[in-house]
Structures are given as C-alpha cells and as structure tokens.
C-alpha cells in the first residue's frame, strides 16, 4: 500500500496534504489524529471511495478499486445501517459468497466474537453487537488488508479485549490490519506501527516508544515558588516548558541533567519525574486547532 504526494481538498480545506506513505504487508498499523485531522479522508482514499486531486494511491501495486473488487480488502467503517429481517449468519454468509476465497462463516463469527448470535436478526442487536457484526462482514472475505475505522467505539471493556485478541491473531496469519482510533492506549498496546496525522499530513511514524522519544522522553514537574519560567527552557535536556497555576512542566530528553540543574538553581520543590506518555507525545505532535 502506498500514498505518493497525495492531496485531497474540500473547498479551501486540504484534508490530505501531500502524503507520502508506504505500508508493507503484515502487522497492525494505527492511524491517530484529532477529529478532523484527515483520518477518515485518508481511509476513503485508500479504499477508492474518493479520488485524490493529485498524487496517487496504490494497493497491492494497482488502483484501490481493483484490489477491492478482487476481494483483497475488507473494511469496517463508522457509519452503517442494519439490514432488516435477516439473521447475522445469513448476512455474513451472503457477503462471504461474494468473495473468491472467503473465511468459513463460523470462523468469521468467532473472530468477531459473535458465534452465539448467528440466529439473531441484525436489526434487533445492541450497538456493541451490531459493531461486531460489521467486523464479521469485513472479515468474511478473508482480506489481505483489513481496514477498521474507529472499530471499538461502541464496545465495552471486555469486548474490546476480545476484539484485540482476535485482531492480533488475524495479523499473525500474515494479514495487515490498519485501524484508526481515538483510544491512544489501544494504539500503544496493539499497533506495531503508529502513524499520527495532523492537518492532513503525517507528522509522526513509528512505535509508541518512538513517538514518546520524539516528544521528549520524560516530564519533570515542580512548583515554581518564584523561579523565573523563562530561564527553564535553557536548562540541559529541556525541549518544552509549560507553566500552569504556579507549577512548571518540563519536557526533557535528559531528566537527570535537568533535575541536577534545577537543584543547582535551588528550584526543586514538590519535584516529580515521569516518563512521557503517548498522550503527551500526541499533544506535542499535533496542532491544537485542526481543520477537519
């Protein structure tokens, strides 16, 4: 899968702004971004649901539409309507029958965690159950690339755990699982690779540890007690300074050197040192006011 100089605009908004990206087969890849950062547009381009204004998008060496028609791609999108008067098993069997080499229906239902719902009508399910039916439909064709847009939004904690167990197992078969999510802890725990998109551009690409390092490896916080905040940015290791309600937070690449320098200034008051979280990295990497 590859994006090369890909641009998509809506009026004056550049929802995807010159993206260059390649993803090799296999593993799990998370797409993170604020609301409106360009995640859904990127997925639409990947699936051939919309055309780029310039640049190219390729799947398996050709246009996305060809891979979708060949059954090599499965997708679970955020918006879908329940089908009336059919059972879960009937729906998944119908979809599977449209593919050249589908999963057995029972296996698709098992992977989606709804093996016990095969005889239930689709239009009489809870929100979480309906979400898992959409996953079973996406899995039905045994796709080489599975694209999931906010897949766990309607699931409870237990269902999320079961979902990710299934997805890791599916990826271990050599498939690629690409998912967007608002849950940073999910990306950190379950993605081999994390892509952060902001204002239509890829602003970070790596593992959770890579992202944390890119934003500064540690956070040093303490009470200012009269210490001049402007001098803090000059301390060794410090990459960013935030002062709020008399307490300073320093993002630093070298917490030991930063703390020793603070001690030399006599500025160690209610000191705390903690590793940067993925949330910290995400906030440092993204713009506070996205356009989409």
Q: Quick one: pLDDT band at residue 212, thresholds 50, 70, 90? A: confident
Do 53 and 183 belong together in one domain?
yes
Taking CA atoms, 26 is separated from 44, 47, 146, in Å, by 21, 18, 10
Per the listing, tokens 């190219």 go with 56
Whether residue 291 is predicted with pLDDT greater than 70 in this model: the reply is no
Task: Please list the residues that pair with 249 across neighbouring strands.
Answer: 221, 242
Do 263 and 225 belong together in one domain?
yes
Q: Quick one: pLDDT band at residue 288, thresholds 50, 70, 90? A: low
| End residue of a domain, out of 178, 211, 244 | 211
Mark out the alpha helices in 54-97 (DSSP H runs): 64-69, 88-96
pTM of the model: 0.82
Q: pLDDT tens-digit profile of 169-193?
A: 999 999 999 999 888 889 999 999 9
Q: Are 208 and 223 in contact (CB under 8 A)?
A: no
Would residue 137 count as lying in a domain?
Answer: yes
Structure tokens given for 210: 């890579």
Question: What pLDDT does residue 253 have?
Answer: 86
Structural domain including 254 reads 216-275
Taking CA atoms, 37 is separated from 4, 13, 197, 257, in Å, by 19, 11, 6, 36
Q: pLDDT tens-digit profile of 63-83?
A: 999 999 999 999 998 777 778
What percentage of the chain reaches a pLDDT higher than 70? 97
Q: Round the average pLDDT of the chain to a whole number and report it.
A: 90
Would residue 282 count as lying in a domain?
Answer: no
Taking CA atoms, 39 is separated from 199, 200, 209, in Å, by 10, 8, 22
Whether residue 222 is predicted with pLDDT greater than 60 in this model: the reply is yes
Structure tokens given for 239: 């990459």
Do 164 and 144 belong together in one domain?
yes
| End residue of a domain, out of 193, 211, 229 | 211
Q: How many CB atoms are located within 10 Å of the residue 275 CB? A: 12
Q: Which domain CATH number covers 265?
A: 3.30.70
Do 32 and 166 belong together in one domain?
yes
Whether residue 134 is predicted with pLDDT greater than 80 in this model: the reply is yes
Burial class of residue 7 (count of CB atoms within 10 Å of its CB; 0-12, 13-18, 19+): middle
Give the distance between the most distant pair of CA atoms in the chain: 74
Q: Quick one: pLDDT band at residue 226, thresholds 50, 70, 90? A: low
Q: pLDDT tens-digit profile of 157-170?
A: 888 998 999 999 99
Q: Are 36 and 292 in contact (CB under 8 A)?
A: yes
Number of structural domains, the chain?
2
Whether residue 282 is predicted with pLDDT greater than 90 in this model: the reply is no
Q: pLDDT tens-digit profile of 14-32?
A: 999 999 999 999 999 999 9
Structure tokens given for 101: 């080499």
Do 132 and 49 belong together in one domain?
yes
Distance of alpha carbon 103 from alpha carbon 133, whole angstroms: 15
Whether residue 289 is predicted with pLDDT greater than 50 in this model: the reply is no
CA 59 to chain centre: 19
Would residue 229 count as lying in a domain?
Answer: yes
Residue 153: CA count within 13 A, CB half-sphere: 16
Q: Quick one: pLDDT band at residue 287, thresholds 50, 70, 90? A: low
Do 201 and 89 belong together in one domain?
yes
């Amino acid at each position: 899968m590859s994006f090369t100089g890909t641009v998509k605009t809506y009026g004056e908004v550049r929802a995807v702004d010159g993206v260059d990206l390649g993803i090799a087969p296999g593993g799990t890849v998370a797409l993170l971004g604020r609301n409106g950062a360009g995640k859904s547009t990127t997925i639409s381009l990947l699936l051939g649901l919309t055309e780029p204004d310039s640049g190219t998008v390729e799947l398996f060496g050709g246009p996305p539409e060809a891979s979708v028609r060949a059954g090599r791609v499965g997708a679970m999108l955020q918006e879908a309507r329940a089908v009336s008067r059919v059972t879960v098993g009937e729906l998944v069997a119908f979809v599977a029958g449209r593919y050249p080499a589908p999963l057995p229906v029972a296996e698709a239902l098992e992977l989606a965690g709804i093996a016990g719902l095969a005889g239930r009508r689709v239009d009489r399910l809870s929100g979480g159950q309906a979400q898992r039916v959409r996953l079973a439909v996406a899995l039905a064709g045994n796709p080489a690339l599975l694209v999931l847009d906010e897949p766990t939004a309607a699931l409870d904690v237990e269902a999320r755990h079961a979902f990710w167990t299934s997805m890791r197992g599916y990826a271990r078969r050599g498939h690629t699982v690409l998912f967007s999510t608002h849950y940073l802890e999910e990306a950190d725990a379950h993605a081999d690779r994390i892509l952060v998109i902001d204002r239509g551009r890829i602003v970070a690409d790596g593992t959770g540890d890579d992202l944390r390092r890119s934003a500064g490896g540690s956070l040093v916080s303490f009470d200012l007690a009269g210490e001049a905040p402007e001098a803090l940015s000059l301390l060794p290791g410090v990459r960013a300074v935030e002062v709020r309600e008399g307490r300073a937070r320093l993002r630093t690449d070298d917490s030991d050197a930063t703390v020793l320098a603070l001690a030399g200034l006599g500025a160690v008051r209610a000191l705390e040192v903690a590793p940067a979280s993925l949330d910290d990295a995400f906030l440092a990497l993204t713009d506070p006011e996205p356009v989409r």
